[in-house]
Chain A
């Protein structure tokens, strides 16, 4: 009896009797699925993040401990910096030593405080003396061009990426909104033709016109410049449709009222239609930012020959290719290039997900 009451109590959820449902197996499976999915999504990213602050040696030896653990380096009098080891003798006493010779079965070591007292000890009784150290040099070396790491010009890459993203997004928003306004609020000869033409572009994937687009861009003289990346994809059929669907819901009476007040058509567009379409515009802005920031193949073709024009994506690819074994730098720079978009995401995530789900792409 008491037991029954207890399970009812524990199984009770918020709400009145009709809406309250017990935490059933379906919920259990759902939460299990969600947790599993989020783990698969987050663990690789977090693992990269944690690995990126590990010292070079820990990264190169694929240390799988989460924290950045490094061997202690100590300044030994008259010899210089040495890696510190702990020697445990047969009685269990521990002593801080450094290696005075090559590692063999019996290794020459000397105590840190007495560098001349070299003794032979079995290798198995030596353990590295470790400390937790955040390896900021992984980040600072490439960013500040220290230690010969002068090929990853992050500032230039960031500027190029931001320039391409911002310019392309502004142009896309403006011209797509203009086209959508024309298609949704005017009756004119050829409206259907234009609509069909735009649908047709939706069906032409960009990767099947790569070669000839290259010819076009070359003959316009914008090959190798950032504009060669910005202009060709500025007119997006997706954007026109998204905005058109939204603008159809704006009542024509508003426009008529403005015309009564002798507002020009451009002012109607700019002062009335644009502000009212703000939700759809912001969804398109977000999509455009994602597309442009992450764009890879076309920038690779257009910009690859000039390192001063590389975007972050290209710079990172080149960098990872150049230093195939310098994982600690590559990981750190991966994290650096992941940060801007992650910040944008954390800042706008609620808006992005609901915006795309409610306005976008039906």
Chain B
């Protein structure tokens, strides 16, 4: 019988047998009190502690099971990790493992430069590739997740119809298991899947439309009219431009900049960034209520009109034939990584949205009423009331999502398996494969990798906490 088995057996005999005798000797139970007796039996150690040490012994007895499990399955492994990382071989018995000192670490660090995993030995290559992929993933994932969750929480917190329904819908993916998520998205993102089909269908339709005579003129006029209506709406109020319409206008401005591609005149390729930058600056100016906000919107309108005239719409909408992309398999395209971030956001956003929602609802409504009395614009209210007051919750979300995305394994293992090549190979997968999947498991190297990963996570978490603390001191 195993160690745990015999321990459990002994404990069970003592608990159930001894407990029953002890309880029956002390109290009288009627027949219908059997459930009550069962519950007393469950708590027998606590009762026993109370009778021996009085009330002072009770909290220790109450804490015991929780702390035993923490001790055995969290703290002990934490310390054991260091020991295992200094041993070699593939034996499971701790006593059979030879002490190898720092050589597991030395193997991982056996590189010309750790920033170039290709210059490492095999172990180092896998570890550092995984580590840098993970860092890269975290750096992209955490802001994306937090921003999307914050926007969604803000929208869901508005006074809209069917709030419960929307909230539930955004939370639903959190309930799904990684396996289901991976199967669903594998099916959608397959080379012949629905996504490629939808893109192909709409690009064909647009190309056909762009091929019609007069399309260029009609599109220019339509979009021009649309721009006029939107900018008129944005500027309708006598003092400050309306934020909502400005956001819509900025979206169009970005789109037009991308289409017109003004940077191509000086042979540079940054128009999409330029467009998004312009839109961001415009929204920033209006939401901060700068005095020249009105002027900025008008100027942006003129810029947009000038660019609009220069666009050849039949060229813009002529996509040609869409060649199906193998989203999760095609190497050197960045798509596997993109979809990883997308699917991760898709499946985890709801949880962080709910936490942020709790933070938003804790903000007293009178603050907004007071702001409204002072005719504060919604944008200013957001930067000056909502954001500072939701900052503590946002910090929690930042830390939680950081630790969570550092540990990413399930989604990537099931979606891409680390591929194509090693493009989405993460550090946890490296630890898992080194220690558990090979025929000759190298627990020492896995443990050494875990220790290094723990150090990186700790550094990141403290750095983040330090930054956010500096901010909240303002």
Q: A residues engaging B (CB < 8 A)?
A: 24-31, 33-34, 37-38, 40-42, 44-45, 47-48, 51, 62, 64, 174-176, 178-179, 181-183, 186, 188, 191, 194, 197-198, 201, 203-222, 231-235, 237, 240, 264-267, 269-270, 290, 293-294, 296-297, 300-301, 312-313, 316-317, 320, 327, 330-331, 334, 337-338, 341-342, 344-345, 349-350, 352-354, 356-358, 360-362
Please provide the chain B residues from 131 to 152 with a CB less than 8 Å away from any CB of chain A in the complex. 151-152
- Interchain nearest-CB distance for A331 vs B (Å): 6
A358–B454 alpha-carbon span in the complex (Å): 32
Chain A residues with CB under 8 Å of B243's CB are 26
Interface centre among A28, A205, A290, A350 (most CB of B within 10 A): A205
Question: Is there contact, CB below 8 Å, between B69 and A41?
Answer: no
A-B contact pairs, 5 of them (CB 8 A): A27-B158, A27-B160, A186-B58, A210-B431, A344-B175
Quick check: B65 and A175 within 8 Å, CB to CB?
A: yes
Q: Which of B246-296 contact A (CB under 8 A)?
A: 247-248
- The one of B63, B361, B410 in contact with A194, judged by C-beta atoms closer than 8 angstroms, is B63
Counting chain B CB atoms within 10 Å of each CB, the highest count among A27, A179, A269, A360 belongs to A179
Task: Kindly provide the distance from the CB of A172 to the nearest chain B CB, expressed in whole angstroms.
Answer: 10
**B340: Cβ under 8 A from any A Cβ:** no
B197 contacts which chain A residues (CB < 8 A)? 62, 64
With A203-B461, A232-B69, A313-B177: A178-B431 Cβ-Cβ less than 8 Å: no
CB-based contact A212/B354 at 8 Å = no
Contacts of A31 in B (CB 8 A): 160
Please report the C-alpha to C-alpha distance between residue A212 and residue B76 in the assembled complex, in whole angstroms.
Answer: 8
Q: Which of A28, A38, A201, A344 contacts B166 (CB 8 A)?
A: A38
Q: Say yes or no: B170 contacts A37, CB within 8 Å.
A: yes
Cross-chain contact A208 with B81 (CB below 8 angstroms): yes
- Interface contacts beyond A215-B77, A358-B358: sample of 19 additional A-B pairs, CB < 8 Å, sorted by A: A26-B244, A38-B166, A44-B185, A45-B184, A178-B65, A182-B63, A188-B60, A208-B450, A209-B74, A212-B447, A215-B94, A235-B74, A265-B55, A290-B174, A313-B179, A320-B179, A341-B177, A352-B168, A356-B358
Also in contact, A362 and B62, with CB within 8 A (given A316-B183, A338-B176): no
**Nearest CB in chain A: distance from B240 CB, A:** 14
Residues of A within 8 Å of B70, CB to CB, are 197-198, 201, 235, 237
**Contact: A205 with B406, CB < 8 Å?**
yes
Question: Are B187's CB and A331's CB within 8 A?
Answer: yes
CB-defined contacts of B355 to chain A, threshold 8 Å = 356-357, 360-361
Q: Is the CB of B406 within 8 A of A337?
A: no
Top-10 shortest CB links A-B: A221-B2, A25-B244, A266-B43, A62-B192, A182-B62, A182-B59, A212-B77, A220-B4, A179-B66, A294-B177
Main secondary structure of the interface of B (DSSP, over half): helix
B168 CB contact (under 8 Å) in A188, A232, A235, A349: A349
Inter-subunit contact A208/B453 (CB<8 Å): yes
> For residue A290, which residues in chain B have a CB less than 8 angstroms away from its CB?
174-175
Instruction: Please pick, from A41, A206, A221, the residue contacting B346 in the complex, using a CB distance under 8 A.
Output: A41
B158 touching A296, Cβ below 8 Å? no
Please, which residues of chain A bring their CB within 8 A of the CB of B410? 296-297
Residue in B56, B80, B166, B358 whose beta carbon sits within 8 Å of that of A215 in the complex = B80
B412-451 interface mask toward A, CB cutoff 8 Å, 1 = contact, 0 = none? 0010000000000000100110011000000100110011
> In the bound complex, how far is the Cα of B194 from the Cα of A193, in angstroms?
55
Question: For A25, A37, A188, A207, which residue has the most chain B Cβ atoms within 10 angstroms?
Answer: A207
CB distance from B78 to the nearest CB of A (A): 6
B contact residues around A234 at 8 Å (CB) = 69
The CA of A353 and the CA of B155, in the complex, are separated in Å by: 15
Which residue of chain B lies nearest to A191 when distances are taken between CB atoms in the complex?
A: B59
Flag if A352 contacts B171 (CB, 8 Å).
yes
Identify the closest chain B residue to A207 (Cβ).
B407
Residues of A within 8 A of B308 (CB): none
Q: B72 to chain A: which residues have CB within 8 Å?
A: 216, 220
Residue-wise, chain B 354-365 has the 8 Å CB interface mask toward A (1 for contact) of: 110110010000
Given the known inter-chain contacts A29-B244, A30-B155, A270-B43, please indicate yes or no for A207 contacting B66, CB distance below 8 A: no
A25 cross-chain contacts in B, Cβ below 8 A: 233, 242, 244-245, 248
Q: How far is the CA of A24 from the CA of B246 in the complex (A)?
A: 13
Q: By the criterion CB–CB under 8 Å, are A44 and B188 in contact?
A: yes
Is B193 part of the contact surface with A, judged by Cβ < 8 Å?
Answer: yes
A40 cross-chain contacts in B, Cβ below 8 A: 346
Given contacts A34-B160, A188-B59, contact A294 B447 (CB under 8 A): no
Shortest Cβ distance from B50 into chain A, in angstroms?
5
> Which listed residue, B94, B351, B407, B431, touches A219 by the CB 8 Å rule?
B94
Report the bound CA distance from A171 to B180 in whole Å. 27
> How far, in angstroms, from A138 to B153 measured CA to CA in the complex?
39
Interface size class of B (residues with CB under 8 A): 35 or more
Check B62–A178 contact: CB distance below 8 A: yes
CA distance A209 to B152 in the complex (A): 34
Report if B84 contacts A (CB, 8 A). Answer: yes
| Shortest Cβ distance from residue B218 to the other chain A in the assembled complex, whole angstroms | 25
Residues of the B chain whose Cβ atoms lie less than 8 Å from the Cβ of A342: 172, 175
Pairwise interchain contact A204-B78, C-beta atoms closer than 8 A:
yes
> CB distance A62 to B193 under 8 Å?
yes
Measured between beta carbons, the chain B residues less than 8 angstroms from A265 are 46-47, 50, 55, 58
Contacting B66 at CB < 8 Å: which of A214, A240, A270?
A240
Which residue of chain A has its CB nearest to the CB of B343?
Answer: A44
A176 to chain B, nearest CB (A): 6
B177, A337: Cβ atoms closer than 8 Å: yes
Q: Which residues of chain B are near A34, meaning CB under 8 Å?
A: 155-156, 160, 166
> Please, which residue of chain B has its CB at the minimum distance from the CB of A317?
B179
User: Is B226 in contact with chain A by the CB < 8 A criterion?
Assistant: no
Give Cα A216 to B158, complex, Å.
Answer: 49
B177, A212: Cβ atoms closer than 8 Å: no
Residue of A nearest to B55 (CB): A265
- B residues within 8 A CB of A300? 432
Please give, as numbers and ranges, the residues of chain B lying within 8 Å of A212 by CB-CB distance.
76-78, 80-81, 83-84, 447, 450
A214 to B443, CA, bound (A): 10
Contact at A175–B69, with CB atoms within 8 Å? yes
Determine if A194 and B67 form an interchain contact, defined as CB atoms under 8 angstroms apart: yes
- Shortest B127–chain A CB gap in Å is 14
A296 B81 Cβ-Cβ under 8 A = no
Interface check B164, CB cutoff 8 A: yes
Q: Is the CB of A178 within 8 A of B66?
A: yes
B359 nearest CB across to chain A (Å): 8
| Interface flag for B34 (CB, 8 Å) | no
Within 8 A of A (CB), among B167-210: 167-180, 183-185, 187-188, 190, 192-194, 197
Cα of A214 to Cα of B403 in the assembled complex, Å: 21
Contacts of B172 in A (CB 8 A): 41, 342, 345, 349
Chain A residues whose C-beta falls within 8 Å of the C-beta of B428 in the assembled complex:
207, 210, 297
B105 close to A (CB within 8 Å): no
Q: Are B396 and A361 interface neighbours, CB within 8 A? A: yes
Which residues of chain B are within 8 angstroms of A357 by Cβ–Cβ distance?
Answer: 167, 354-355, 357-358, 361
Q: A317 to B192, alpha carbons, bound, how many Å?
A: 22
Q: Contacts of B435 on A, CB cut-off 8 Å?
A: 210-211, 214
Q: Which chain B residues lie closer than 8 Å to A27 at the CB level?
A: 158, 160
Asked if B39 CB lies within 8 Å of chain A CBs, one says yes
Which of the residues A26, A207, A237, A353 comes within 8 Å of B171, measured between beta carbons? A353
Assess the B431–A353 pair: CB atoms within 8 A. Answer: no
Question: B73-99, CB under 8 A of A: which get 1 and which 0?
Answer: 111111011011000000010100000
Q: State which residues 309-366 of B face A: CB under 8 Å.
A: 346, 351, 354-355, 357-358, 361
